[in-house]
Amino acid sequence: MADLKEFLSLLESTVKAPRLSGSKVSLLSTQSKKLEPKSDTEFISTFLRLNKSLGKKSTSRISSLYVFDAIARANKGISGREGLMMKMEGVVDSWVNEMCEDGKGGVWTEGRDKTRKIVDIWTKSSTFPQPCLDRLSARLAVASADHSTTPTMSPPRPIMSPALPPLEEKENRGLGAHGFGQGPVLCLPSVLSSCLRGMLHRSCRVLKVNPILFIAIRVENTSLAILLTVQTHKTEGRRKRL
């Protein structure tokens, strides 16, 4: 019988090595067949914890899958190892899931593809019961679908400042008496007309001009038709405020 402590030590060093050693994998496969049946639970529990502790998308995780595969196929069909195979069947989903996840909510494509090859081998050799193999194949199919349908993030739309209301042209009617003649005039929203009046007033004081403001009281769509003329004066004393 193989010593469980030495076996588990060899298992950990093989999985965590920078490169997977074929000779050590072969030795683990041979010694796993010599473990006492009462050690199966401790062996599988330790192996499961080891696999979960490995980094996402790491070489060690791939090595762990290959060691799991080698031990499973080595013990398949051997009398007295049915208990070990049942325990491995109970935890195999964990290996497949870990090989499909990249740790960021996405799919690890390399791990998924390597796992698919292993599951194909298990299917051909009937390493595990068919319902188990069907479940693993379905998991891999979901991983493939998730990867192919991942939406591409589009850049956010720029935040546009609200546009000011456009100026509208209104037909100039009934204003000929003021000498402006016919033609279109600009209709400004009332909020702009008040601002314009203030700006005009300040500008006239600086430029020493006298503004003559003609406002056609014609309210259409909340706009005022405003006509402006500016008459220049030479002296500041003749300025007139609005």
Domain range summary for the chain, segments of one domain joined by +: 4-148, 182-238
Choice between 182 and 35, residue whose per-residue pLDDT is larger: 35
Residues 19-37 have a mean pLDDT of 96
Which residue is listed with tokens 């049946």?
37
Residue 137 pLDDT exceeds 70:
yes
Residue 132 pLDDT exceeds 50:
yes
What tokens appear for 48 in the block?
A: 């499961």
Residue 201 pLDDT exceeds 80:
no
CA-closest candidate to residue 38, choices 8, 9, 80, 66? 80
Residue 160 pLDDT exceeds 90:
no
Q: Which pLDDT band holds residue 67 (cuts at 50, 70, 90)?
A: very high
Q: Which pLDDT band holds residue 102 (cuts at 50, 70, 90)?
A: confident
Residue 240 pLDDT exceeds 80:
no
Give residue 103's pLDDT.
85
Q: Which pLDDT band holds residue 127 (cuts at 50, 70, 90)?
A: very high
231 and 212 in contact (C-beta within 8 Å)? Answer: yes
Residue partners of 140: CB distance under 8 A and separation at least 6: 96, 100, 112, 115, 116, 119
CA-closest candidate to residue 66, choices 26, 125, 36? 26
Give residue 145's pLDDT.
85
Residue 142 pLDDT exceeds 70:
yes
Residues 51-61 have a mean pLDDT of 95
Pick the CATH number of 4-148 from 3.30.390.30, 3.30.160.60, 1.25.40.90, 2.40.160.210: 1.25.40.90
Residue 159 pLDDT exceeds 70:
no
Cα 177 from Cα 12, distance rounded (Å): 103
State phi, psi for 188 to the nearest 5 degrees: -105, 145
Residue 181 pLDDT exceeds 50:
no
Least confident of 17-21, 52-56, 75-79, 202-206: 202-206
